[in-house]
Structure 1
Amino acid sequence: MNPAWPVDTARPWLAPYAPRAAAAGATLAQGLGVAEALSNQPVPIGLPAGPLRFVPVHTAPADEAYEAFIFRTAQVPTRDNLHDFFNGLVWLHFPQAKRRLNELQAGEIARAGIGAERGPLRDALTLFDENGAVLDAPPALWEALLARDWQRLFVAERALWRQARLLVFGHALLEKLSSPRKPMTAHVLCAPGASRSVAIDDAAIAAALDAAHLASKPFAPLPVLGVPDWWAPNEAPGFYDDTEVFRPPRPAGRLYPE
């Protein structure tokens, strides 16, 4: 992997991962692969099969599902690319949540096998793992987000974002944010029960990953580059008037692709 890889650890969405990203990046600059660079970091938790390890992708049998292999061996197949680099960072920083996702995925694979369709639970697990986010915010921001009232969310209630925290969990979204573009959208997990927020710590995220709740796809789309202080262009007048990105609420009976 090229040591000039485009990871700017000063970006706000990388703040939770920045120390490990910098340390692993220094290892990559020495010519080691991503699996080795991640394995050089302290691993805070194990899986049922043993201590978590990152291994080159060819280690996994071609005929075994990725998540089933991780569950069986506690080894994460890792390619030399940004996608798998960010996946490893999330494993290291939020191991309980990633372990919970893997346990649910492996359980569904054992129950139903691998077919043409994943089913609602595996779809939701994959969506959160790849593109998910967690928001801890005052109720007024949640109300605006769920209503897709972007002007209220980002303009009228802009000051409330000082009381909010947004975590980008999905490693595919972290990869895409290496080259920020306005339409990039996270799927924010709504917590089970009356409270919408999930506290941004590993145990709280893992606890919110309830199988029945996830199967209902309890996600709210959020254009992440609209978050105040996350991207300089959103300070410009009219930034939030772009209805191709900041879409109005769905008309009754009509679905937008997320």
Structure 2
Amino acid sequence: MRQCVEQGLPVVTIDWSAPWLAPFRHPGEGLARQIVAGAGVHQALNRSPLCPLGFVPQAELPVGTAYEQFIFNTGTVPTREGLHDFFNGLCWMRFPLTKRLLNRLQAAEIQKAGVGRVRGPVRDGLTLFDENAALLQAPDALWDALLARDWTRLFVDLRPLWVQARLVLFGHALLEKLVVPYKSITAHVLRVPVPLPLGHDLSVWDAWLAARLSAAELSTKPFTPLPVLGVPGWCPANEDPAYYADAGVFRPKREAC
């Protein structure tokens, strides 16, 4: 998306051929063109036939009202001009059932405890999932290596197995960071393998995810880290096994005390 400088936004180009954007290229690429032509982010999102709810300017969020509560009360999403909220809108389109679930759980926590300086474990887990989660569909051997943070085994020894794997990004902040990729970008992979029979239809993934996530589980932050540019095919530099020797990015698992 090229964002107009006169709108006070940075000039950014989205590479829609990037593998992590494949699930979002439609309708994302067309909506980005509308924004380049002068539409507001909320206006472009609302024009999509995939739009599951309304998007409104950020100014419609009343002072003192929690963002999540506003969405729950009105069925509309306050939206700023920028990549972060643009990708949030695309995630609403691809994962509408899961996004609605996360919003209901957030609203329930707000009703229970109010809005304070500390979000609490449930809201923290919900926010982390919403912003930075990824879903992995892969053979057991890859999962075992990932959970052990055995990066050499995961990405070098078992590299041929990645043709049977699929990593789908859910977090909109994660997608935003990958517009300008850098090696240390790390996803929080839900520590539950996506069942292999789900195939390539993200609406099926969405229904599966919305049926199994819970506030209790997310409060435990059930995630494992994955530097996403280590995924074969996601970065040309990772063809060299030495790429994974960077312990500042591919960190070993901490030993339990």
> What RMSD over aligned residues (CA atoms) do the two structures have, in Å?
1.4
Among all aligned residue pairs of Structure 1 and Structure 2, give the percentage whose two residues are the same amino acid. 56
Partner amino acid, structure 2, of 1:63? G
- Cα deviation for residue 99 of structure 1 reads 0.6
Aligned-pair CA distance for 1:8:
1.0
Compare the two structures and name the one with the higher helix fraction.
2
SS in 2 for 1:87: helix
Distance in structure 1 (CA, Å) of the matches to 2:98 and 2:104: 10
> What residue number does 2:17 align with?
10
| Cα distance, 1:44 vs structure 2 | 5.5
SS of match in other structure, 1:238? helix
- 1:37-59: per-residue Cα shift (whole Å, max 9, x none)? 101101464xxxxxx10010001
Instruction: Give 1:28 shift.
Output: 1.0
Given candidates 206, 209, 220, the residue that maps to 1:216 is 220
Once the two structures are superposed, residues 72-128 of structure 1 have per-residue CA deviations (whole angstroms, 9 ceiling, x without a partner) of 001100011000000000001110111111111111011111111111111111001
Within the candidate set 195, 201, 204, 2:208 is matched to 204
What's the counterpart of residue 142 of structure 1?
Answer: 143
After TM superposition, the runs of 4+ consecutive aligned structure 1 residues lying more than 4 A away are: none
Shifted more, 21-30 versus 106-115: the winner is 21-30
Corresponding residue for 1:256?
none
Structure-to-structure mapping, 1:1-258, within 5 angstroms: 1-2=3-4, 5-43=12-50, 45=52, 52-191=53-192, 196-197=193-194, 199=198, 201-253=205-257
Alignment CA distance shift 1:36-1:44 (3 Å) = closer
Q: Is the 8 A contact 2:45 2:51 kept in 1?
A: no
Structure 1: state its 5+ residue gaps. Answer: 46-51, 254-258
CA pair 107-169 structure 1, distance change in 2 beyond 3 A: same
What is the deviation of 1:29?
2.3
Q: How many angstroms apart in 2 are the aligned matches of 1:237 and 1:93?
A: 34
Q: TM-score, normalised by structure 2?
A: 0.91
Superposed CA deviations along residues 18-69 of structure 1, whole A, max 9, x for unmatched, are 0111110121122111000101101464xxxxxx100100011011000000
User: How has the CA–CA distance of structure 1 residues 190 and 158 changed in structure 2, closer, same or farther, with 3 Å as cutoff?
Assistant: same
Q: What is the TM-score with the length of structure 1 in the denominator?
A: 0.91
Structure 2: unaligned runs, 5 residues or longer: 6-10
The question of whether the paired residues in 2 share the 8 Å contact of 1:190 and 1:197 is answered with no
Q: Distance in 2 between matches of 1:74 and 1:176?
A: 27
Q: Which amino acid aligns with 2:26?
A: P
Q: Identify which range, 2-11 or 181-190, moves more after superposition.
A: 2-11
The equivalent residue for 1:48 is none
Distance (whole Å) between structure 2 residues aligned to residue 94 and residue 42 of structure 1: 14
